[in-house]
Chain A
Amino acid sequence: MDAVISNTDDLHTIFSTRGLTKIYQMGEVQVKALRGIDLELYSGELVVMLGPSGSGKSTLLNILGGLDTATDGSVTYHDIDLTSAGDRDLTEYRRFNVGFVFQFYNLIPSLTARENVAIVTEIAKNPMDPAEALAMVELADRMDHFPAQLSGGEQQRVAIARAIAKNPEVLLCDEPTGALDSKTGIVVLEALERVNKTLGTCTVLITHNVVIAGMADRVIRILDGKIAEVQKVEKKISPGELEW
């Protein structure tokens, strides 16, 4: 199934993949995580990628973010061919263009919330002030706390602040609410939506939770390493209206 929208007059393509394939070696087992994905992502949109565990959505996200390399096929970011990029080029690509939010936050335990954001802004070209990024996720009053002193939801919001503080063009979120209860999850989703609207960042959100798809511009379903369906959401709902 193709995730390319034919009428591209109003949309600016950021990512384009063709025949993207990824095979992993896990111990003694070979795992075909992606089996030839063709996809385009556009600036400013909020895309939700749905799929069960093991469907390949995280793998796709990692390759888009330059965290992993493809076995076959191609990925371009604007005019940059990411599949042939070396480690140095991918590092630079992530440094200036991509923000990540992970399921288990991956904060540096020895840094405060503000410092966890600063560690990224200090190497970015045109970053926000860390305090400003934390204010966007409503954590202005918890800036000097360590991760161990924050709840799961707060930690995830710090991670979002860290991801957006560099003013990235792309925000990639891998199961951002997976480790949170629904109420906290909604708070996190609201933060993501706010960021998407305010900064115009292309936001890709991976989840196995179908309900979250309601807040997306497009929903891409992935199954067994292939795109099963691409759906434009006619009527988006706000995260506050989601229930699970």
Chain B
Amino acid sequence: MKAINWKMVRDLDNMRAMVFVIAIMIISGVATFVTLLSTLDSLRSTQRAYYQEYFFSNIFASLKRAPGSVISRIREIPGVNRVSARIWAGANISLSGFDETIRGLVISLPDEGEPLLNRLYLRRGRRPTPYSSDEIIVGDAFAQAHKLQIGSLMTAVINGREKELKVVGIGLSPEFIYQANPGSIIPDFERYAILWMGKTALEAAYDMQGAFNNVTVSLTYQANEAEVIRRLDEILEPYGGLGARGRVDQPSHFYITEELKQLGQMATIIPTIFLAVAAFLLNVVIGRLIQTQQGQIAILKAFGYDNIEIGWHYIKMVSVIVIIGLAGGVFLGMYLGKLLAGVYAEFYRFPFLQYRLDPGVFLAAATVSFGAASAGVLFAVRRAVLLPPAQGMLAESPKIFKQNWVEKIGLAGFLDQPTKMILRQLSRHRLKTIFGIVGIAFAASLVMLGRISEDSISYAVDVEFRQAQPYDLSVSFEDATSSHALTELKRIRGVYYAEAYRTIPVRMRFGHRNYLTSIQAYPKKRVLKPLLDSNQREVQIPGYGVLLTRKLGDILGVKTGDTLRVEVLEQSRRVMNLPVAGFMNQYFGLSGYMSLEELNRVLPEKELISGAYMNIDQRQEKQITQELKKSPKVAEILSTQSIIAKFYESTAQTWLIMAFFVSLFAAATAFSVVYNNARISLSERNRELASLRVLGFTRGEISYILLGELWIVVLLAIPVGMLFGWLITAFMIWSLQTDLYRIPMNITSFTYSLAAITVIISTLLSTVILRRRLNKLDLIGVLKTRE
């Protein structure tokens, strides 16, 4: 090996502590990049594979009831590939040992053979025996929540009839990757079950012999989906068709797409910011490191090494550090990516996970890391080689120091010499001081970036659930029912107060745009369901017309005063023309709001309600719930507390895990930046500090001179870091908006404190490590060698 390469190897060995710490910075940036992007990639790839292998449908339609003969007409629609007609039945389920209401959706399976579409992945067990009347396959989320095994029993009330069912299989379907209860966006695996049963058995239980009430369709290549939907709606309309919808509107697909969209944005922006900051910091640190080699660069030049050879030598040196960081970052990123993707797959009920790391991700990380490091090298080497070698080898002439503003305002007399040294060092090397402050500030801002999900989620939950839903219980009915039901609810012992609401599924149309959603109608005078916007201001429900969430208004392209064509997809299926009364901003969902009185006025079926909100005596919640469950009309009972708990257990969990890793990497970067800054300062001032020791300064006194400078830079960097963190957070929030979630901007004081504390702890750690080095300064060496 050439001598110059040995120099590189041994130089790296001599500064291995710094190599390690710089590598940490690179590992943090690269690992964040690889973790998030590979998670996203893996989930998308898994979703695609799952859909393909298990024949996930393209179009979904529910209807009241149609005879089996209609299926052939559907098959004849141009563009239709496969048709799967099924029975969907709601059920109330009882499990021994679990007192609360469990709602279930029972779906028919062909008695023989596989379904043509939306095939099941069987985790355990088997399909029901052909024509069996009581065997079911149960969704694996529900099975897991209740620790159900093959052979477990449950009781289901389907169509008013009670039936005992036996679990013979536990499975998953691409139709229910995201399993939210109808009307909610939050999964509740304990209280909502998906079950599959043989067709004959379900036909009998639901009085649907020879008929179906749900159909899904797959399309041929290049089929016109809108046209197929239109033709399908035409066919199903006489049979109570509720409006076919494409895959984009299928709830599970919609939610997971939104989630992946948001993950995609987070997975693009966070790591990019991280890597960019890491690259900037790397550039600065490497630049300063090379500067300490100025004397050696001059010697190499004196020997006849040209600028390219010298530049290449240092690029190689730095490349070793980058390779260590890259390798560590990629492996750690892959490990964490698999872990995080596994958490998502678990939550979203994917039967398998196809983990993959796109080579492009690795290449991007490598390019940025090498690019930043090389830029740092070349800039510093260029500065050094521009000097004639003779000057490079000379001791630097004493730098020009002056009194700074602190001294000029008359405080000089109060300052001892070491303190003057600190202040003059900071003001003499302004650029270096600024870079130090900016570098540490960026590291602090990354810590704040890691907290973005938690702060914003907590705030959104607080507004959306706690403040906007001051009721204790909400009850929803199977079908819209007479308002007498409200009177009955109020009579239940322990119920203090109840207010009704109506929710109707609708398709809103404006021009060529349409959206499938719901209208929620509340009494104009109410207390239990204030309508709060994202600024926590109560919004008045208009006396006429419909109020839309801002995002829905944007999708439809309407403004206040425009007339919306609203097709009601239940009961009378009335088509209404409603004026847009205004807009409101909300964090979750896309809905319209009307007054209950106005809705009752425009719909022919009068005084119907979908459910009620109740304030109750909390001590009697259990008895009230039992009483409510007795009614066949009651579909679901939810308490606000359990909704919040479910939210944190489910959706929030994935975000919070990601946030944890980002925060961890941010803290590692913060330590790396602070330590490197201080370590290089020590290298630059080694001789000066050793000379002071020779003169009789104690170790503590010289520590004060070096570390005092560091602490001033750190304390100046903290507020700057908070400002950077605010800016980066604002940018992130703005770019994370999706149809489903509008994340609020909220930075808690804890987050600001955490950023400050992380930087301070990093500085304390660096102080301890450097103090040990200061204790080992070579005093004799200083006396012997020239300046």
Closest to A59 in B: B390
**B11 at interface, CB cutoff 8 A:** yes
Q: How large is the interface on A (under 10, 10 to 19, 20 to 34, 35 or more residues)?
A: 20 to 34
Q: A28-B400, A67-B388, A122-B3 are in contact. Are A110 and B302 (CB under 8 A)?
A: no
With a cutoff of 8 Å between Cβ atoms, the chain B residues found around residue A96 in the complex are 304
- Checking A27, A94, A104, A116 against B302 with a beta-carbon cut-off of 8 angstroms, the contacting residue is A94
Closest to B392 in A: A67
**A45 at interface, CB cutoff 8 A:** no
Closest to B386 in A: A87
With a cutoff of 8 Å between Cβ atoms, the chain B residues found around residue A68 in the complex are 388-391
Give the shortest distance, in Å, between B489 (CB) and chain A (any CB): 84
**B785 at interface, CB cutoff 8 A:** yes
Closest to B307 in A: A87
User: Contact between B3 and A88 (Cβ–Cβ < 8 Å)?
Assistant: no
User: Contact between A119 and B393 (Cβ–Cβ < 8 Å)?
Assistant: no
- Checking B4, B393, B399 against A106 with a beta-carbon cut-off of 8 angstroms, the contacting residue is B393
Complex CA distance for A119 and B305, rounded to whole angstroms:
10
**A233 at interface, CB cutoff 8 A:** no
With a cutoff of 8 Å between Cβ atoms, the chain A residues found around residue B390 in the complex are 62, 67-68
Complex CA distance for A61 and B261, rounded to whole angstroms:
69
Complex CA distance for A87 and B306, rounded to whole angstroms:
8
- Checking A94, A102, A104, A106 against B304 with a beta-carbon cut-off of 8 angstroms, the contacting residue is A94
In this complex, the member of A26, A87, A91, A123 whose beta carbon has the largest number of chain B beta carbons within 10 angstroms is A91
Q: A27-B400, A28-B400, A68-B391 are in contact. Are A111 and B304 (CB under 8 A)?
A: no
Which residues in window 488-526 of B have CB below 8 A to A? Answer: none
With a cutoff of 8 Å between Cβ atoms, the chain B residues found around residue A119 in the complex are 2-4, 7, 300, 303
Q: A26-B397, A91-B301, A119-B7 are in contact. Are A67 and B306 (CB under 8 A)?
A: no
User: Contact between A95 and B785 (Cβ–Cβ < 8 Å)?
Assistant: no
Complex CA distance for A28 and B309, rounded to whole angstroms:
34
Give the shortest distance, in Å, between A20 (CB) and chain B (any CB): 15
**B296 at interface, CB cutoff 8 A:** yes
Q: How large is the interface on B (under 10, 10 to 19, 20 to 34, 35 or more residues)?
A: 20 to 34
Closest to B10 in A: A110
Encode B774-787 as 1/0 by CB contact (under 8 A) with A.
00000000000110
**A181 at interface, CB cutoff 8 A:** no
With a cutoff of 8 Å between Cβ atoms, the chain A residues found around residue B393 in the complex are 67, 102, 106
- Checking B306, B397, B785 against A27 with a beta-carbon cut-off of 8 angstroms, the contacting residue is B397
Complex CA distance for A94 and B389, rounded to whole angstroms:
11
User: Contact between A91 and B306 (Cβ–Cβ < 8 Å)?
Assistant: yes
Which residues in window 289-310 of B have CB below 8 A to A? Answer: 295-296, 299-307, 309
Complex CA distance for A98 and B6, rounded to whole angstroms:
24
With a cutoff of 8 Å between Cβ atoms, the chain A residues found around residue B631 in the complex are none
Q: A67-B389, A94-B304, A123-B305 are in contact. Are A106 and B299 (CB under 8 A)?
A: yes
Closest to A130 in B: B3
In this complex, the member of B6, B389, B397 whose beta carbon has the largest number of chain A beta carbons within 10 angstroms is B389
**A193 at interface, CB cutoff 8 A:** no
Encode A115-126 as 1/0 by CB contact (under 8 A) with B.
110111011100
Complex CA distance for A87 and B301, rounded to whole angstroms:
10
**B398 at interface, CB cutoff 8 A:** yes
Encode A65-80 as 1/0 by CB contact (under 8 A) with B.
1011100000000000
Encode B535-578 as 1/0 by CB contact (under 8 A) with A.
00000000000000000000000000000000000000000000
Complex CA distance for A106 and B785, rounded to whole angstroms:
11
- Checking A95, A98, A106, A116 against B3 with a beta-carbon cut-off of 8 angstroms, the contacting residue is A116
Encode B383-406 as 1/0 by CB contact (under 8 A) with A.
001001111010001111000000
User: Contact between A67 and B303 (Cβ–Cβ < 8 Å)?
Assistant: no
With a cutoff of 8 Å between Cβ atoms, the chain A residues found around residue B309 in the complex are 123
Give the shortest distance, in Å, between A185 (CB) and chain B (any CB): 16
With a cutoff of 8 Å between Cβ atoms, the chain A residues found around residue B300 in the complex are 119
- Checking A27, A111, A120 against B10 with a beta-carbon cut-off of 8 angstroms, the contacting residue is A111
With a cutoff of 8 Å between Cβ atoms, the chain B residues found around residue A15 in the complex are none
Complex CA distance for A219 and B732, rounded to whole angstroms:
75
**B417 at interface, CB cutoff 8 A:** no
Which residues in window 80-113 of A have CB below 8 A to B? Answer: 87-88, 91-92, 94-96, 98, 100, 102-104, 106, 108, 110-111
Complex CA distance for A148 and B381, rounded to whole angstroms:
26
- Checking B6, B7, B302, B385 against A67 with a beta-carbon cut-off of 8 angstroms, the contacting residue is B302
Closest to B14 in A: A110
User: Contact between A110 and B7 (Cβ–Cβ < 8 Å)?
Assistant: yes
Complex CA distance for A119 and B11, rounded to whole angstroms:
15
Encode A27-46 as 1/0 by CB contact (under 8 A) with B.
11000000000000000000
Q: A27-B397, A62-B390, A102-B393 are in contact. Are A115 and B306 (CB under 8 A)?
A: no
User: Contact between A120 and B303 (Cβ–Cβ < 8 Å)?
Assistant: yes
Complex CA distance for A68 and B394, rounded to whole angstroms:
11
- Checking A27, A88, A104, A162 against B786 with a beta-carbon cut-off of 8 angstroms, the contacting residue is A104
- Checking A26, A67, A88, A110 against B11 with a beta-carbon cut-off of 8 angstroms, the contacting residue is A110
User: Contact between B7 and A88 (Cβ–Cβ < 8 Å)?
Assistant: no
Give the shortest distance, in Å, between B3 (CB) and chain A (any CB): 4
User: Contact between B3 and A115 (Cβ–Cβ < 8 Å)?
Assistant: yes
With a cutoff of 8 Å between Cβ atoms, the chain B residues found around residue A98 in the complex are 304
Give the shortest distance, in Å, between B408 (CB) and chain A (any CB): 20
Complex CA distance for A62 and B391, rounded to whole angstroms:
10
- Checking B3, B14, B304, B786 against A92 with a beta-carbon cut-off of 8 angstroms, the contacting residue is B304
User: Contact between A122 and B4 (Cβ–Cβ < 8 Å)?
Assistant: yes
Closest to B295 in A: A106
With a cutoff of 8 Å between Cβ atoms, the chain B residues found around residue A65 in the complex are 302
User: Contact between B785 and A123 (Cβ–Cβ < 8 Å)?
Assistant: no
Complex CA distance for A146 and B402, rounded to whole angstroms:
41
With a cutoff of 8 Å between Cβ atoms, the chain A residues found around residue B10 in the complex are 110-111
With a cutoff of 8 Å between Cβ atoms, the chain A residues found around residue B299 in the complex are 106, 108
Complex CA distance for A190 and B54, rounded to whole angstroms:
89
Give the shortest distance, in Å, between B525 (CB) and chain A (any CB): 83
Complex CA distance for A108 and B4, rounded to whole angstroms:
10
Complex CA distance for A104 and B393, rounded to whole angstroms:
10
Give the shortest distance, in Å, between A29 (CB) and chain B (any CB): 9
Closest to A31 in B: B397
Complex CA distance for A98 and B296, rounded to whole angstroms:
18
Complex CA distance for A124 and B309, rounded to whole angstroms:
14
With a cutoff of 8 Å between Cβ atoms, the chain B residues found around residue A108 in the complex are 7, 296, 299
Complex CA distance for A115 and B300, rounded to whole angstroms:
13
With a cutoff of 8 Å between Cβ atoms, the chain B residues found around residue A120 in the complex are 303-304
With a cutoff of 8 Å between Cβ atoms, the chain B residues found around residue A95 in the complex are 303-306
With a cutoff of 8 Å between Cβ atoms, the chain B residues found around residue A100 in the complex are 302-303
- Checking B2, B385, B397, B398 against A122 with a beta-carbon cut-off of 8 angstroms, the contacting residue is B2
Which residues in window 141-185 of A have CB below 8 A to B? Answer: 162
With a cutoff of 8 Å between Cβ atoms, the chain A residues found around residue B4 in the complex are 119, 122
Complex CA distance for A163 and B6, rounded to whole angstroms:
20
Give the shortest distance, in Å, between A164 (CB) and chain B (any CB): 13
User: Contact between B303 and A118 (Cβ–Cβ < 8 Å)?
Assistant: no
With a cutoff of 8 Å between Cβ atoms, the chain B residues found around residue A102 in the complex are 393
Complex CA distance for A62 and B301, rounded to whole angstroms:
13
Closest to B296 in A: A108
With a cutoff of 8 Å between Cβ atoms, the chain A residues found around residue B785 in the complex are 104
- Checking A27, A69, A103 against B388 with a beta-carbon cut-off of 8 angstroms, the contacting residue is A69
Encode B438-471 as 1/0 by CB contact (under 8 A) with A.
0000000000000000000000000000000000
Give the shortest distance, in Å, between B429 (CB) and chain A (any CB): 16
With a cutoff of 8 Å between Cβ atoms, the chain B residues found around residue A88 in the complex are 306-307
Complex CA distance for A65 and B14, rounded to whole angstroms:
32
Complex CA distance for A100 and B7, rounded to whole angstroms:
20
Residues of B within 8 A of A (CB): 2-4, 6-7, 10-11, 14, 295-296, 299-307, 309, 385, 388-391, 393, 397-400, 785-786
Q: 8 A-B residue contacts at CB 8 Å? A: A27-B397, A28-B400, A62-B390, A67-B302, A94-B302, A94-B304, A115-B3, A123-B303
Residues of A within 8 A of B (CB): 26-28, 62, 65, 67-69, 87-88, 91-92, 94-96, 98, 100, 102-104, 106, 108, 110-111, 115-116, 118-120, 122-124, 162
Can you list the 4 inter-chain pairs with the closest CB atoms, starting with the nearest? A95-B304, A110-B10, A67-B390, A119-B3
Known pairs A119-B7, A123-B309. 19 more at Cβ < 8 A? A27-B398, A28-B400, A65-B302, A67-B393, A68-B388, A68-B390, A69-B388, A91-B304, A94-B303, A103-B786, A104-B785, A110-B11, A110-B14, A111-B10, A115-B3, A116-B3, A119-B300, A122-B2, A123-B305
